[in-house]
Structure 1
Amino acid sequence: MTYCVATNLLQGMIFASDSRTNAGVDNIAKFCKCRILEKQGERVIVTLSSGNLAISQGTISLLLQRGRDNDQKNVWNCHSMYDVAILIGDCLRDIQERDGEYLKQRNIDTAANFIVGGQIKGEGPRLFLIYSEGNFIEASEGTLFFQIGETKYGKPILDRVLTPATSLPVATKSIIVSFDSTMRSNISVGPPIDLVIIEKDTFKIAVHQRLEEGDPYLNLVHHQWGEGLKKAFTELADMPWETNGNSVYPLVQTPDN
Protein backbone atom coordinates (compact mmCIF):
# COMPACT_ATOMS: atom_id res chain seq x y z
CA MET A 1 0.00 0.00 0.00
CA THR A 2 1.03 3.60 -0.54
CA TYR A 3 0.20 6.97 0.93
CA CYS A 4 0.88 10.20 -0.94
CA VAL A 5 -0.45 13.69 -0.31
CA ALA A 6 0.11 17.14 -1.80
CA THR A 7 -1.35 20.58 -1.14
CA ASN A 8 -1.37 23.92 -2.96
CA LEU A 9 -1.46 26.95 -0.65
CA LEU A 10 -0.94 30.69 -1.02
CA GLN A 11 2.70 30.43 0.07
CA GLY A 12 3.55 27.39 -2.03
CA MET A 13 3.18 23.65 -2.36
CA ILE A 14 4.03 20.59 -0.26
CA PHE A 15 4.37 17.01 -1.50
CA ALA A 16 4.95 13.87 0.57
CA SER A 17 5.03 10.15 -0.18
CA ASP A 18 5.95 6.98 1.65
CA SER A 19 8.35 4.48 0.09
CA ARG A 20 6.83 1.12 0.95
CA THR A 21 5.32 -1.43 -1.44
CA ASN A 22 3.39 -4.42 -0.21
CA ALA A 23 2.81 -7.70 -2.03
CA GLY A 24 2.02 -9.59 1.18
CA VAL A 25 3.45 -9.54 4.68
CA ASP A 26 6.51 -11.50 3.53
CA ASN A 27 7.19 -9.34 0.48
CA ILE A 28 7.57 -5.70 1.51
CA ALA A 29 10.04 -3.51 -0.36
CA LYS A 30 10.95 0.18 -0.62
CA PHE A 31 10.63 2.22 -3.80
CA CYS A 32 10.67 6.00 -4.17
CA LYS A 33 7.29 7.21 -5.44
CA CYS A 34 8.33 10.86 -5.79
CA ARG A 35 9.94 12.33 -8.91
CA ILE A 36 11.20 15.92 -9.27
CA LEU A 37 11.66 17.67 -12.63
CA GLU A 38 13.36 21.04 -12.30
CA LYS A 39 14.71 23.72 -14.62
CA GLN A 40 15.59 26.46 -12.15
CA GLY A 41 14.10 29.83 -12.93
CA GLU A 42 11.61 28.36 -15.40
CA ARG A 43 9.75 25.33 -14.07
CA VAL A 44 9.57 22.89 -11.21
CA ILE A 45 7.34 19.81 -11.34
CA VAL A 46 6.75 17.04 -8.80
CA THR A 47 4.96 13.73 -9.36
CA LEU A 48 3.73 11.26 -6.74
CA SER A 49 2.37 7.84 -7.68
CA SER A 50 0.38 4.96 -6.23
CA GLY A 51 -0.92 1.65 -7.50
CA ASN A 52 0.78 -0.81 -9.84
CA LEU A 53 4.48 0.01 -9.57
CA ALA A 54 5.40 -1.24 -13.04
CA ILE A 55 2.64 0.87 -14.62
CA SER A 56 3.61 4.03 -12.71
CA GLN A 57 7.33 3.58 -13.37
CA GLY A 58 6.65 2.89 -17.03
CA THR A 59 4.57 6.05 -17.25
CA ILE A 60 7.31 8.29 -15.84
CA SER A 61 9.99 6.59 -17.96
CA LEU A 62 7.92 7.23 -21.10
CA LEU A 63 7.35 10.86 -20.04
CA LEU A 64 11.11 11.40 -19.67
CA GLN A 65 11.88 9.57 -22.90
CA ARG A 66 9.48 11.82 -24.81
CA GLY A 67 11.05 14.78 -23.03
CA ARG A 68 14.21 14.24 -25.07
CA ASP A 69 12.35 14.96 -28.32
CA ASN A 70 12.38 18.74 -28.69
CA ASP A 71 10.35 18.59 -31.90
CA GLN A 72 7.17 17.77 -29.99
CA LYS A 73 5.46 19.18 -26.91
CA ASN A 74 7.05 17.65 -23.82
CA VAL A 75 7.42 18.16 -20.11
CA TRP A 76 10.38 20.52 -20.61
CA ASN A 77 8.88 22.87 -23.20
CA CYS A 78 5.12 22.93 -22.57
CA HIS A 79 3.66 26.21 -21.35
CA SER A 80 1.38 25.16 -18.50
CA MET A 81 0.92 22.59 -15.76
CA TYR A 82 -2.35 21.68 -17.47
CA ASP A 83 -0.26 20.53 -20.44
CA VAL A 84 1.95 18.51 -18.08
CA ALA A 85 -1.12 16.74 -16.68
CA ILE A 86 -2.24 15.92 -20.24
CA LEU A 87 1.21 14.55 -21.11
CA ILE A 88 1.28 12.28 -18.04
CA GLY A 89 -2.28 11.13 -18.72
CA ASP A 90 -1.32 10.30 -22.32
CA CYS A 91 1.74 8.33 -21.18
CA LEU A 92 -0.35 6.46 -18.62
CA ARG A 93 -2.90 5.51 -21.27
CA ASP A 94 -0.15 4.32 -23.63
CA ILE A 95 1.40 2.10 -20.95
CA GLN A 96 -2.04 0.77 -20.00
CA GLU A 97 -2.75 0.03 -23.67
CA ARG A 98 0.56 -1.81 -24.02
CA ASP A 99 0.46 -3.86 -20.81
CA GLY A 100 -3.03 -3.59 -19.35
CA GLU A 101 -4.92 -6.34 -21.16
CA TYR A 102 -2.10 -8.85 -20.72
CA LEU A 103 -1.95 -8.17 -16.97
CA LYS A 104 -5.72 -8.25 -16.51
CA GLN A 105 -5.82 -11.70 -18.11
CA ARG A 106 -3.63 -12.80 -15.20
CA ASN A 107 -5.80 -11.05 -12.60
CA ILE A 108 -3.20 -8.35 -11.93
CA ASP A 109 -4.56 -4.95 -10.95
CA THR A 110 -3.19 -2.37 -13.39
CA ALA A 111 -4.56 0.73 -11.65
CA ALA A 112 -2.08 3.57 -11.10
CA ASN A 113 -2.80 7.12 -9.97
CA PHE A 114 -0.67 10.25 -9.94
CA ILE A 115 -0.55 13.56 -8.15
CA VAL A 116 1.34 16.13 -10.23
CA GLY A 117 1.96 19.71 -9.27
CA GLY A 118 4.37 22.57 -9.62
CA GLN A 119 4.80 25.89 -11.35
CA ILE A 120 5.83 26.96 -14.84
CA LYS A 121 6.87 30.56 -15.50
CA GLY A 122 3.91 32.60 -16.67
CA GLU A 123 1.32 31.01 -14.38
CA GLY A 124 0.77 30.27 -10.71
CA PRO A 125 1.32 26.96 -8.92
CA ARG A 126 -1.17 24.25 -9.93
CA LEU A 127 -1.98 20.79 -8.60
CA PHE A 128 -3.68 17.87 -10.38
CA LEU A 129 -4.93 14.39 -9.53
CA ILE A 130 -4.58 12.00 -12.48
CA TYR A 131 -6.72 8.88 -12.45
CA SER A 132 -5.73 5.48 -13.78
CA GLU A 133 -7.75 6.12 -16.95
CA GLY A 134 -5.62 9.18 -17.76
CA ASN A 135 -8.25 11.83 -17.00
CA PHE A 136 -7.66 14.32 -14.19
CA ILE A 137 -9.02 17.04 -11.94
CA GLU A 138 -7.38 20.20 -10.60
CA ALA A 139 -7.19 21.42 -7.01
CA SER A 140 -9.04 24.62 -6.14
CA GLU A 141 -9.65 26.85 -3.13
CA GLY A 142 -12.33 24.39 -2.07
CA THR A 143 -10.06 21.37 -2.60
CA LEU A 144 -6.68 22.30 -1.19
CA PHE A 145 -5.09 18.85 -1.16
CA PHE A 146 -5.09 15.53 -2.97
CA GLN A 147 -4.36 12.09 -1.54
CA ILE A 148 -3.74 8.77 -3.26
CA GLY A 149 -3.26 5.29 -1.85
CA GLU A 150 -4.32 4.68 1.77
CA THR A 151 -6.18 7.96 2.18
CA LYS A 152 -8.76 7.52 4.94
CA TYR A 153 -6.64 7.61 8.10
CA GLY A 154 -4.70 10.78 7.30
CA LYS A 155 -7.55 12.92 5.97
CA PRO A 156 -9.18 14.26 9.19
CA ILE A 157 -6.19 16.34 10.35
CA LEU A 158 -5.81 17.90 6.89
CA ASP A 159 -9.51 18.79 6.78
CA ARG A 160 -9.23 20.50 10.16
CA VAL A 161 -5.95 22.38 9.65
CA LEU A 162 -5.46 23.36 6.02
CA THR A 163 -6.77 26.65 4.64
CA PRO A 164 -5.39 28.64 1.70
CA ALA A 165 -3.56 30.92 4.14
CA THR A 166 -1.98 28.13 6.21
CA SER A 167 1.78 28.67 6.40
CA LEU A 168 4.14 26.12 4.88
CA PRO A 169 5.61 25.12 8.30
CA VAL A 170 2.15 24.53 9.80
CA ALA A 171 0.94 22.67 6.71
CA THR A 172 4.07 20.51 6.75
CA LYS A 173 3.43 19.63 10.38
CA SER A 174 -0.16 18.63 9.57
CA ILE A 175 1.07 16.39 6.74
CA ILE A 176 3.55 14.65 9.05
CA VAL A 177 0.71 14.07 11.54
CA SER A 178 -1.36 12.73 8.64
CA PHE A 179 1.39 10.22 7.88
CA ASP A 180 1.71 9.27 11.54
CA SER A 181 -2.02 8.51 11.75
CA THR A 182 -1.85 6.46 8.56
CA MET A 183 1.22 4.46 9.60
CA ARG A 184 -0.32 3.74 13.01
CA SER A 185 -3.45 2.25 11.41
CA ASN A 186 -1.90 0.52 8.38
CA ILE A 187 1.46 -1.24 8.67
CA SER A 188 1.81 -1.40 4.88
CA VAL A 189 2.53 2.36 4.88
CA GLY A 190 5.88 3.37 6.31
CA PRO A 191 9.14 5.30 6.05
CA PRO A 192 11.17 6.55 4.36
CA ILE A 193 8.93 9.55 3.72
CA ASP A 194 9.97 11.88 0.91
CA LEU A 195 9.05 15.50 1.63
CA VAL A 196 9.25 18.23 -1.02
CA ILE A 197 8.40 21.92 -0.54
CA ILE A 198 8.13 24.55 -3.29
CA GLU A 199 7.83 28.23 -2.41
CA LYS A 200 5.60 30.18 -4.78
CA ASP A 201 7.28 31.98 -7.73
CA THR A 202 10.77 30.64 -6.97
CA PHE A 203 10.70 27.90 -9.65
CA LYS A 204 12.96 25.66 -7.60
CA ILE A 205 12.81 23.17 -4.75
CA ALA A 206 13.04 24.83 -1.34
CA VAL A 207 13.17 21.61 0.70
CA HIS A 208 13.76 18.01 -0.32
CA GLN A 209 14.11 15.82 2.73
CA ARG A 210 13.87 12.08 3.31
CA LEU A 211 12.63 11.03 6.75
CA GLU A 212 13.98 7.57 7.48
CA GLU A 213 12.75 4.97 9.96
CA GLY A 214 13.59 6.27 13.44
CA ASP A 215 13.91 9.89 12.30
CA PRO A 216 13.94 12.09 15.45
CA TYR A 217 11.21 14.42 14.18
CA LEU A 218 8.94 11.53 13.16
CA ASN A 219 9.39 10.02 16.62
CA LEU A 220 8.73 13.38 18.29
CA VAL A 221 5.51 13.95 16.34
CA HIS A 222 4.38 10.38 17.03
CA HIS A 223 4.88 10.84 20.80
CA GLN A 224 3.56 14.41 21.14
CA TRP A 225 0.53 13.84 18.92
CA GLY A 226 -0.38 10.60 20.67
CA GLU A 227 -0.09 12.14 24.13
CA GLY A 228 -1.94 15.26 23.00
CA LEU A 229 -4.86 13.19 21.70
CA LYS A 230 -5.07 11.26 24.97
CA LYS A 231 -5.04 14.50 26.98
CA ALA A 232 -7.71 16.11 24.79
CA PHE A 233 -9.87 12.99 25.06
CA THR A 234 -9.70 12.87 28.86
CA GLU A 235 -10.72 16.55 28.99
CA LEU A 236 -13.86 16.02 26.90
CA ALA A 237 -17.11 16.39 28.85
CA ASP A 238 -18.90 13.11 29.56
CA MET A 239 -22.09 12.49 27.66
CA PRO A 240 -25.27 13.12 29.74
CA TRP A 241 -27.16 9.83 30.03
CA GLU A 242 -30.94 9.42 29.88
CA THR A 243 -31.74 7.76 33.22
CA ASN A 244 -35.52 8.12 33.56
CA GLY A 245 -36.51 5.75 30.78
CA ASN A 246 -38.30 8.52 28.88
CA SER A 247 -36.26 8.30 25.71
CA VAL A 248 -37.94 9.74 22.64
CA TYR A 249 -36.73 6.72 20.70
CA PRO A 250 -37.64 3.57 22.70
CA LEU A 251 -35.54 0.73 21.37
CA VAL A 252 -36.28 -1.92 24.00
CA GLN A 253 -39.25 -4.21 23.38
CA THR A 254 -41.29 -5.03 26.50
CA PRO A 255 -44.45 -7.14 27.02
CA ASP A 256 -46.46 -3.91 27.20
CA ASN A 257 -45.54 -2.53 23.80
Structure 2
Amino acid sequence: MTYCVGLLTRAGMVMIADTRTNAGIDNISIYRKLHILQDNEDRLMAIASAGNLSVTQSMLSMLTEGLPPVEEGGVARTLAGVPTMFRAAQLVGEAVRAASYSVGATLSGTGINAGISLLLGGRIHDGPLHLYMIYGEGNFIECSPDSPFLQIGELKYGKPILDRALAYDTELDEAVKVGLISFDSTLRSNLSVGRPFDLLVVPSDATRPDIRLRISEDDAYFDMLSSEWGRLLNESRAAIPVPPFMKAV
Protein backbone atom coordinates (compact mmCIF):
# COMPACT_ATOMS: atom_id res chain seq x y z
CA MET A 1 0.00 0.00 0.00
CA THR A 2 1.03 3.63 -0.33
CA TYR A 3 0.61 6.90 1.48
CA CYS A 4 1.54 10.25 -0.07
CA VAL A 5 0.61 13.70 1.15
CA GLY A 6 1.07 17.19 -0.22
CA LEU A 7 0.72 20.34 1.88
CA LEU A 8 0.48 23.84 0.40
CA THR A 9 0.54 26.78 2.79
CA ARG A 10 1.33 30.45 2.40
CA ALA A 11 4.91 29.65 3.44
CA GLY A 12 5.56 26.85 0.97
CA MET A 13 4.91 23.30 -0.19
CA VAL A 14 5.65 19.94 1.45
CA MET A 15 5.43 16.58 -0.31
CA ILE A 16 6.03 13.27 1.48
CA ALA A 17 5.77 9.77 0.01
CA ASP A 18 6.49 6.33 1.40
CA THR A 19 8.52 3.79 -0.59
CA ARG A 20 6.87 0.47 0.19
CA THR A 21 5.31 -1.70 -2.51
CA ASN A 22 3.16 -4.59 -1.38
CA ALA A 23 2.28 -7.64 -3.48
CA GLY A 24 1.39 -9.73 -0.43
CA ILE A 25 2.81 -10.04 3.07
CA ASP A 26 5.75 -12.08 1.76
CA ASN A 27 6.52 -9.79 -1.19
CA ILE A 28 7.29 -6.28 0.06
CA SER A 29 9.94 -4.14 -1.61
CA ILE A 30 11.18 -0.55 -1.80
CA TYR A 31 10.44 1.77 -4.72
CA ARG A 32 10.75 5.55 -4.92
CA LYS A 33 7.33 7.17 -5.32
CA LEU A 34 8.38 10.83 -5.12
CA HIS A 35 9.94 11.82 -8.44
CA ILE A 36 11.56 15.16 -9.34
CA LEU A 37 10.71 15.57 -13.04
CA GLN A 38 11.91 19.14 -13.63
CA ASP A 39 14.70 20.75 -11.65
CA ASN A 40 16.41 23.84 -13.02
CA GLU A 41 16.39 27.61 -12.69
CA ASP A 42 13.25 27.82 -14.84
CA ARG A 43 11.02 25.27 -13.14
CA LEU A 44 10.64 22.68 -10.40
CA MET A 45 8.06 19.89 -10.71
CA ALA A 46 7.61 16.80 -8.56
CA ILE A 47 5.19 13.89 -8.74
CA ALA A 48 4.16 11.51 -5.95
CA SER A 49 2.42 8.32 -7.09
CA ALA A 50 0.09 5.70 -5.67
CA GLY A 51 -1.34 2.65 -7.39
CA ASN A 52 -0.25 0.25 -10.10
CA LEU A 53 3.53 0.36 -10.49
CA SER A 54 3.64 -0.62 -14.17
CA VAL A 55 1.16 2.12 -15.11
CA THR A 56 3.16 4.63 -13.06
CA GLN A 57 6.44 3.66 -14.74
CA SER A 58 4.85 3.84 -18.18
CA MET A 59 3.42 7.28 -17.42
CA LEU A 60 6.79 8.57 -16.17
CA SER A 61 8.53 7.28 -19.30
CA MET A 62 5.97 9.04 -21.49
CA LEU A 63 6.59 12.31 -19.69
CA THR A 64 10.36 11.88 -20.03
CA GLU A 65 10.30 11.01 -23.73
CA GLY A 66 7.49 13.43 -24.55
CA LEU A 67 3.91 12.97 -25.66
CA PRO A 68 3.07 13.05 -29.38
CA PRO A 69 2.89 16.54 -30.91
CA VAL A 70 -0.50 18.13 -31.47
CA GLU A 71 0.28 18.79 -35.13
CA GLU A 72 2.08 16.53 -37.58
CA GLY A 73 5.73 17.45 -37.77
CA GLY A 74 5.65 19.23 -34.42
CA VAL A 75 7.86 18.58 -31.43
CA ALA A 76 7.12 16.14 -28.63
CA ARG A 77 5.32 17.71 -25.68
CA THR A 78 7.21 17.63 -22.37
CA LEU A 79 6.97 19.32 -19.00
CA ALA A 80 9.98 21.43 -19.97
CA GLY A 81 7.84 23.24 -22.53
CA VAL A 82 4.57 23.93 -20.72
CA PRO A 83 3.93 27.62 -19.89
CA THR A 84 1.96 27.11 -16.64
CA MET A 85 1.46 24.54 -13.90
CA PHE A 86 -2.13 24.13 -15.08
CA ARG A 87 -0.81 23.05 -18.47
CA ALA A 88 1.61 20.74 -16.68
CA ALA A 89 -1.31 19.08 -14.88
CA GLN A 90 -3.12 18.69 -18.20
CA LEU A 91 -0.08 17.05 -19.79
CA VAL A 92 0.41 14.68 -16.85
CA GLY A 93 -3.29 13.81 -16.97
CA GLU A 94 -2.96 12.98 -20.66
CA ALA A 95 0.02 10.72 -19.93
CA VAL A 96 -1.95 9.00 -17.16
CA ARG A 97 -4.84 8.29 -19.53
CA ALA A 98 -2.52 6.92 -22.21
CA ALA A 99 -0.59 4.70 -19.78
CA SER A 100 -3.76 3.46 -18.09
CA TYR A 101 -5.29 2.56 -21.46
CA SER A 102 -2.15 0.78 -22.67
CA VAL A 103 -1.39 -1.23 -19.54
CA GLY A 104 -5.04 -1.62 -18.55
CA ALA A 105 -5.83 -3.35 -21.83
CA THR A 106 -3.10 -5.90 -21.12
CA LEU A 107 -4.34 -6.49 -17.58
CA SER A 108 -7.99 -6.78 -18.58
CA GLY A 109 -9.51 -9.93 -17.11
CA THR A 110 -6.59 -10.63 -14.77
CA GLY A 111 -8.20 -9.06 -11.70
CA ILE A 112 -5.22 -6.73 -11.27
CA ASN A 113 -6.13 -3.12 -10.51
CA ALA A 114 -4.49 -0.80 -13.05
CA GLY A 115 -5.57 2.40 -11.33
CA ILE A 116 -3.17 5.13 -10.20
CA SER A 117 -3.41 8.55 -8.61
CA LEU A 118 -0.82 11.31 -8.43
CA LEU A 119 0.17 14.47 -6.65
CA LEU A 120 1.84 17.07 -8.88
CA GLY A 121 3.51 20.05 -7.24
CA GLY A 122 5.86 22.79 -8.26
CA ARG A 123 6.34 26.19 -9.86
CA ILE A 124 7.42 27.76 -13.13
CA HIS A 125 9.89 30.67 -13.15
CA ASP A 126 9.47 32.58 -9.89
CA GLY A 127 5.69 32.16 -9.93
CA PRO A 128 3.53 30.78 -7.13
CA LEU A 129 3.60 27.16 -6.04
CA HIS A 130 0.75 24.91 -7.19
CA LEU A 131 -0.33 21.47 -6.01
CA TYR A 132 -2.70 19.14 -7.89
CA MET A 133 -4.21 15.71 -7.37
CA ILE A 134 -4.53 13.82 -10.67
CA TYR A 135 -6.94 10.89 -10.89
CA GLY A 136 -6.55 7.72 -12.92
CA GLU A 137 -8.84 9.08 -15.63
CA GLY A 138 -6.56 12.08 -16.11
CA ASN A 139 -8.81 14.70 -14.53
CA PHE A 140 -7.46 16.71 -11.63
CA ILE A 141 -8.21 19.12 -8.80
CA GLU A 142 -6.04 21.88 -7.34
CA CYS A 143 -5.18 22.38 -3.68
CA SER A 144 -6.75 25.54 -2.23
CA PRO A 145 -6.19 27.71 0.88
CA ASP A 146 -9.49 26.47 2.34
CA SER A 147 -8.17 22.90 2.41
CA PRO A 148 -4.38 23.18 2.14
CA PHE A 149 -3.52 19.50 1.69
CA LEU A 150 -4.09 16.61 -0.69
CA GLN A 151 -3.62 12.88 -0.02
CA ILE A 152 -3.44 9.72 -2.10
CA GLY A 153 -3.19 6.07 -1.12
CA GLU A 154 -3.93 4.92 2.44
CA LEU A 155 -5.14 8.34 3.56
CA LYS A 156 -7.68 7.78 6.33
CA TYR A 157 -5.28 7.32 9.24
CA GLY A 158 -3.25 10.45 8.54
CA LYS A 159 -6.15 12.79 7.78
CA PRO A 160 -7.41 13.75 11.28
CA ILE A 161 -4.20 15.57 12.29
CA LEU A 162 -4.22 17.46 8.97
CA ASP A 163 -7.83 18.53 9.53
CA ARG A 164 -7.11 19.72 13.07
CA ALA A 165 -3.59 21.14 12.90
CA LEU A 166 -2.94 22.45 9.39
CA ALA A 167 -4.09 25.81 8.03
CA TYR A 168 -3.02 27.93 5.09
CA ASP A 169 -1.20 30.29 7.48
CA THR A 170 0.78 27.48 9.15
CA GLU A 171 4.52 28.18 9.09
CA LEU A 172 6.58 25.89 6.89
CA ASP A 173 8.51 24.17 9.70
CA GLU A 174 5.24 23.46 11.51
CA ALA A 175 3.68 22.14 8.29
CA VAL A 176 6.56 19.69 7.95
CA LYS A 177 5.98 18.58 11.53
CA VAL A 178 2.25 18.05 10.90
CA GLY A 179 3.00 16.09 7.74
CA LEU A 180 5.39 13.80 9.60
CA ILE A 181 2.85 13.24 12.38
CA SER A 182 0.32 12.33 9.69
CA PHE A 183 2.79 9.73 8.44
CA ASP A 184 3.45 8.43 11.95
CA SER A 185 -0.29 7.94 12.50
CA THR A 186 -0.52 6.00 9.24
CA LEU A 187 2.51 3.83 10.04
CA ARG A 188 1.01 3.01 13.44
CA SER A 189 -2.27 1.78 11.95
CA ASN A 190 -1.23 0.21 8.64
CA LEU A 191 1.75 -2.13 8.38
CA SER A 192 1.74 -1.91 4.57
CA VAL A 193 3.00 1.69 4.80
CA GLY A 194 6.49 2.12 6.21
CA ARG A 195 9.83 3.83 6.21
CA PRO A 196 11.90 4.88 4.43
CA PHE A 197 9.95 7.74 2.92
CA ASP A 198 10.97 10.74 0.85
CA LEU A 199 10.45 14.40 1.72
CA LEU A 200 10.48 17.53 -0.44
CA VAL A 201 10.11 21.01 1.09
CA VAL A 202 9.87 24.05 -1.22
CA PRO A 203 9.59 27.54 0.33
CA SER A 204 7.26 30.06 -1.31
CA ASP A 205 10.22 32.42 -1.46
CA ALA A 206 11.95 31.22 -4.62
CA THR A 207 15.30 32.57 -3.40
CA ARG A 208 15.39 30.09 -0.51
CA PRO A 209 16.73 26.58 -1.16
CA ASP A 210 14.42 23.58 -1.12
CA ILE A 211 15.00 20.56 1.09
CA ARG A 212 15.11 16.97 -0.19
CA LEU A 213 15.84 14.02 2.03
CA ARG A 214 14.94 10.43 2.83
CA ILE A 215 13.59 9.56 6.28
CA SER A 216 15.30 6.23 6.99
CA GLU A 217 14.30 3.34 9.24
CA ASP A 218 16.59 4.65 11.99
CA ASP A 219 15.98 8.40 11.59
CA ALA A 220 16.47 9.88 15.07
CA TYR A 221 14.19 12.89 14.62
CA PHE A 222 11.26 10.81 13.36
CA ASP A 223 11.72 8.35 16.24
CA MET A 224 11.63 11.25 18.70
CA LEU A 225 8.59 12.82 17.01
CA SER A 226 6.69 9.52 17.17
CA SER A 227 7.54 9.00 20.84
CA GLU A 228 6.73 12.58 21.85
CA TRP A 229 3.46 12.61 19.92
CA GLY A 230 2.32 9.43 21.65
CA ARG A 231 3.32 10.76 25.07
CA LEU A 232 1.56 14.10 24.55
CA LEU A 233 -1.60 12.40 23.32
CA ASN A 234 -1.75 10.30 26.47
CA GLU A 235 -1.06 13.31 28.70
CA SER A 236 -3.79 15.31 26.95
CA ARG A 237 -6.25 12.44 27.24
CA ALA A 238 -5.52 12.14 30.97
CA ALA A 239 -5.98 15.91 31.46
CA ILE A 240 -9.53 15.91 30.07
CA PRO A 241 -12.17 15.62 32.82
CA VAL A 242 -13.95 12.29 32.99
CA PRO A 243 -17.52 12.21 31.62
CA PRO A 244 -19.95 13.30 34.38
CA PHE A 245 -22.08 10.17 33.93
CA MET A 246 -19.06 8.04 34.89
CA LYS A 247 -18.65 9.62 38.33
CA ALA A 248 -21.46 7.50 39.71
CA VAL A 249 -19.82 4.26 38.64
From the CA coordinates, give the structure whose radius of gyration is larger. Answer: 1
Unaligned runs of 5+ in 1: 245-257
Q: Quick one: which amino acid aligns to residue 215 of structure 1?
A: D
Q: CA deviation at 1:232?
A: 0.7
Q: Quick one: which amino acid aligns to residue 33 of structure 1?
A: K
The answer to whether the 8 A contact 2:147-2:167 is kept is no
Residue 251 (structure 1) aligns with? none
Q: CA deviation at 1:73?
A: 3.5
The 2-side partners of 1:99 and 1:158 are apart by 34
Residue 237 (structure 1) aligns with? 241
The answer to whether the 8 A contact 1:120-1:203 is kept is no
* 1:109 and 2:113 are equivalent in the alignment: yes
RMSD (Å), alpha carbons: 2.0
The answer to whether the 8 A contact 2:2-2:51 is kept is yes
Unaligned runs of 5+ in 2: none
Residue 135 (structure 1) aligns with? 139
The 2-side partners of 1:104 and 1:203 are apart by 48
- Which of 102, 106, 123 is matched with 1:98 structurally? 102
Deviations 1:28-74 (A, max 9, x none): 11100001133432110110000101111111111011079882442
* 1:89 and 2:74 are equivalent in the alignment: no
* 1:199 and 2:188 are equivalent in the alignment: no
Residue 34 (structure 1) aligns with? 34
Would the alpha carbon gap of residues 151 and 88 (structure 1) be closer, same or farther in structure 2, given more than 3 Å must change?
Answer: same
The 2-side partners of 1:88 and 1:24 are apart by 29
Q: CA deviation at 1:224?
A: 0.4
The answer to whether the 8 A contact 1:5-1:17 is kept is yes
Residue 178 (structure 2) aligns with? 174
Residue 47 (structure 1) aligns with? 47
SS at match of 1:229: helix
* 1:215 and 2:219 are equivalent in the alignment: yes
* 1:149 and 2:149 are equivalent in the alignment: no
SS at match of 2:136: coil
Would the alpha carbon gap of residues 84 and 205 (structure 1) be closer, same or farther in structure 2, given more than 3 Å must change?
Answer: farther
The 1-side partners of 2:153 and 2:102 are apart by 24
Deviations 1:182-231 (A, max 9, x none): 00000000011100011124278610010110210111011101111111
- Which of 227, 230, 247 is matched with 1:226 structurally? 230
Would the alpha carbon gap of residues 53 and 215 (structure 1) be closer, same or farther in structure 2, given more than 3 Å must change?
Answer: same
Q: Quick one: which amino acid aligns to residue 129 of structure 1?
A: M
Moved more, 195-204 or 98-107: 195-204
* 1:185 and 2:167 are equivalent in the alignment: no
The answer to whether the 8 A contact 2:38-2:79 is kept is no
The 1-side partners of 2:163 and 2:64 are apart by 34
The 2-side partners of 1:98 and 1:16 are apart by 28
Residue 23 (structure 1) aligns with? 23
Would the alpha carbon gap of residues 132 and 203 (structure 1) be closer, same or farther in structure 2, given more than 3 Å must change?
Answer: farther
The 1-side partners of 2:140 and 2:62 are apart by 18
Equivalent pairs, count: 244
Q: CA deviation at 1:149?
A: 0.4
The answer to whether the 8 A contact 1:67-1:76 is kept is no
Q: Quick one: which amino acid aligns to residue 124 of structure 2?
A: I
The 2-side partners of 1:153 and 1:190 are apart by 13
TM norm structure 1: 0.90
The 2-side partners of 1:210 and 1:39 are apart by 18
Would the alpha carbon gap of residues 15 and 136 (structure 1) be closer, same or farther in structure 2, given more than 3 Å must change?
Answer: same
Residue 249 (structure 1) aligns with? none
